[in-house]
Amino acid sequence: MATLVICEKNNAAQRVATFLSKGKYSRTYLNRVQVFRFPWEGTECLVVGLRGHILNLDYPNTFKSWNIDDLRAMVTTQPLKISTAPWILNAIRDLAKQVDTVIVATDFDREGELIGAEAVSVMNLRPEIVVKRARFSALTGPEIYRAFENLIELDHNLAKAAETRQIVDLAWGAVLTRFMSTSTGKLGADFLSVGRVQSPTLALVVDREKEIETFQPQPFWEIVADLEKKRHFFARHSHGLFWDKAEADTVYEKVRDAKFSMVTDAKKEEGFERPPPPFSTTLFLAEASRIGISAARAMSVAEGLYNDGLISYPRTDNTVYPPTLPLKSILAKLEKSEFAKEVREILTQEKLHPSRGSRQTTDHPPVHPVDAATREQLKGDQWRIYELVVRRFLATLAPAARVLRSEAAFDINGEKFLAHGHETLDRGWQAYYPYIKFTDVFIPELAAGETINVVGMRGREGKTEPPKRYTQGILIRDMEKLGLGTKSTRHEIVQKLFDRGYVQGSQIRPTASGRAIIIALEDNAEQIARTEMTSRLEEDMTKIAEGEKDQESVVAESQELLAKCLEILMEHRESINKEVNEALRNQNQMGVCPKCKTGYLVMRRSKRGKRFIACNAYPACENTYPLPQFGTILVHESPCKKCGGPQVKMAMNRRKPVDVCLDINCKANKDRLKKYGKAKAARTAPTAPAKKGHGPSREKAASSQIEKESKPKGPKTAAKRPAKKKTS
């Protein structure tokens, strides 16, 4: 007999086979699925890769049409498990007949455990077949060897926790999305998505925008003295900010003509600035966001680097390196890379003292490099992410930065002023982590009783500023604090908000549709947009993983909550319809029509579903513009820089929004064609107007709102079979 090893993806399967066989495997195909074969520990070993989940949850066909009358029944209907890759399912079933041992070697987390458990459940294993689990945190030789020498049991509680999340999220997403879409008449391509985690996350962005809009700036005044000893330096009045102008004016009049100041106190103290903690998933995504890489893109690249054996598993809450992590062995590998100089400097320390974060878990170590790579191997974002992980790792092993902090107090015409200085004596870890900028503040050597020249006196007026908009990294950090989602799903939730057109910008702000959905929920079913209910369900799923709760009770509790929310929504259906549609009408306005100067440009759909821009003053004005037929169209706040005409923003999946001028002959569109090439530019180009007699009904399109498409088709229940491969 033989041993069957189940990996999550094909490239992971090939790496596992490479290490276990010492590179001496043969490759065969079964149902177009690659199988790596080699002798191992006195038996034949078969290694096969899945493609993530091979089973997917979906509702019975009776729920395929979006009928609002079905929603109450949908709340309690048990979803079906449907194969998404039947050719893989059949292949592992056939392989199971040839083996006496199955080893699950999928990624070690909730999703990975469920993927492995799903595979085992469909293989029709005989009772005597042994099922084991290989747990590893990196696809490297030492990690694979250790994992297969220390096999453990499959964690069914962990798998149940992941499966429960699927059941709960499917129900909430399907029921609430169908309610919102059918209630507002937005079906087909225009459906309005609502979700258990998505909606509270969107509410964070909308509520922050409300804070910014309603913020009332408060004026303040500050008095600053320009002093000189060898060089200029500054001291501020000890009162800090003055909130009363009269009080500030009184002090300023007293000191404005001062020529000298006397030092009343001066002290200096050496201190240390500790290195940053190791990367958890949240910290990693926050730093990637700071260097301009979206959370979804950063995670996608990190997963690729993990599968290539260059970094450790990127999904972890841990910020403390375990004592078993071979830090010096990792450094030895990096010494053969372009980080060799930095590595040698760090190895000059007598002993490594890695920094520690506040959270310690036992599932995976913090994200760190496991092998060396070069700029020639990795391109673009791959290298930027890899370098970020390497430099963070080096910074956590480097000594603390040594600094000199200075403080001095001055008497200027009876008023107290303070100056604070900061000088870096030894950069320490800062030399290895250039993503944070540090600025020294000069203060000269000072002694009590010394007289210093006053070169000038300034009274500065300012206003308090509203809270800053979220970046993706900060939003994910707050999601973690509030218990929204998991380390494996938060970046996907944020990306979904962009893909749906609910938010936009690197400084995230809600679109009209995103705001409309949240305001409608907050006004009519507030609990859906709040974090408390979602975080409670997250805690329940954690308890399933820990064996403290069962799936049935958590699903039943979720169904009860969802049923209550649905009843509340049904009661307020008319007001939700009115609020959302009014907001969407505002969103569809693209500015004043440049032709008639009286009407507004709005987005329409033809009876064939093609979208275009038209003046709402039709038939008095027949001005129209074609639109790209892909991506999400967003309002642009400014005219085209090339021609001065109207333009829109187009957000494609997982890409930065692109400015698209509505004039197809504009030089901006031609420049984009040169920059990106014909294929990419074509996806973002407005579709040329149809020939007369073959286009959409102009009158019908202009005189109505966006037309409803036919009833949407349900999600596909099976993926397309891959192209047939030759059998070797």
Identify whether the C-beta of residue 135 lies closer than 8 Å to the C-beta of residue 155.
no
Q: With contact defined as beta carbons under 8 Å apart, do 156 and 167 qualify?
A: no
Asked if 199 and 517 count as a contact pair (C-beta separation under 8 A), the reply is yes
Counting Cα atoms < 13 Å in the Cβ hemisphere of 71 gives 25
Residue 657: CB atoms within 10 A of its CB come to 20
Max Cα distance, the chain (Å)? 96
Q: Name every residue whose Cβ is closer than 8 Å to that of residue 693 and which is 6 or more positions away in sequence.
A: none
Angle among Cα 640, 641, 645 to the nearest 5 degrees reads 30
Spell 319-334 as b/e; 16+ CB within 10 A means b. Answer: bbbeeebebeebbebb
Give per-residue burial for 406-426: e unless 16+ CB within 10 Å, then b.
bebbbebeebebbbebbeeee
How far CA 553 is from CA of 25, 161, 196, 540, in Å, comes to: 47, 12, 18, 9
Smallest Cα–Cα separation from 9: which of 105, 99, 148, 152?
105
Contact 400/272 with Cβ under 8 angstroms?
yes
Distance (Å, rounded) from C-alpha 104 to C-alpha 24? 21
Q: How far is Cα of residue 461 from the mean position of the Cα atoms in its chain?
A: 38
Cis bond before residue 444 (omega within 30° of 0): no
Amino acid in the structure at residue 519: I
* Strand partners of residue 613: 603, 625
**Residue 679: its H or E element:** helix 667-683
Catalytic residues: 313
Locate 227 and state its tokens. Answer: 């002093």
Sheet harboring 611-615: ordered strands across? 589-592, 600-605, 611-615, 624-626
**Residues β-bridged to residue 463:** 219
Contact 297, 381 (CB under 8 A): yes
